Amino acid sequence: MKDGYIPDSFGHLAQLPQILRDSGIDTVFIMRGADQICENIGKGDFLWQGPDGSEVFVHVFTEGYDVYLPREPTEFPVFAEKLAALFEKSCTGTLLLPLGGDHREPPTNLSENSQSFVSVWEHSAIMSSFYAGPRFGR
């Protein structure tokens, strides 16, 4: 499965849906450039139609491309409230939570913390996938 990933563009071509579809991509993840439409529709994802009629499903990182998972379990309830608000804005009932960003690596105890967080998250399922990429400076 191919997905588009354009997290830090300060603008988007109207023809982007056509370019992505021509590349076999029907879903794209973006961060910037969709604030107004998200505000207008009250959701964090939408169907984007290009001038030629090509469509792609867009998921917007409304909280940026680094959602900070607290390290202390005492902070989990506040984090759960934030996620519940994001969950309400999702058309699909799915949240994508990028952790680590491009300016810092994910916390070393990410897997342990995410498992601890499951105990306070009220929604039925959490699927997690972690990429343990190369360490910075190595």
Q: Could you tell me if 89 and 123 lie in one domain?
A: yes
Q: Could you tell me if 50 and 87 lie in one domain?
A: no
Q: Could you tell me if 37 and 19 lie in one domain?
A: yes
Q: Could you tell me if 50 and 90 lie in one domain?
A: no
- Which residue, of 20, 41, 62, is where some domain finishes? 62
- Which residue, of 14, 41, 62, is where some domain finishes? 62
Q: Could you tell me if 46 and 6 lie in one domain?
A: yes
Cα distance between residue 32 and residue 60, in whole Å:
8
Tell me: pLDDT of 67 over 60: yes
Q: Which pTM value belongs to this model?
A: 0.72
State which H helix or E strand residue 29 sits in: strand 27-30
**Minimum mean pLDDT among 16-30, 56-70, 88-102: which range?**
88-102
Q: Could you tell me if 70 and 111 lie in one domain?
A: yes
Mean pLDDT taken over the chain: 78
Tell me: pLDDT of 95 over 70: yes
- Which residue, of 42, 62, 82, is where some domain finishes? 62
Q: Could you tell me if 77 and 107 lie in one domain?
A: yes
Whether 135 is covered by a domain: the verdict is: no
For residue 102, the model assigns a pLDDT of 63
Structural domain including 30 reads 1-62
What total of structural domains would you count in the chain? 2
pLDDT-derived band at 106, boundaries 50, 70, 90: low
Contacts of 88 (CB under 8 A, 6+ apart): none
Tell me: pLDDT of 32 over 50: yes
For residue 47, the model assigns a pLDDT of 93
Whether 14 is covered by a domain: the verdict is: yes
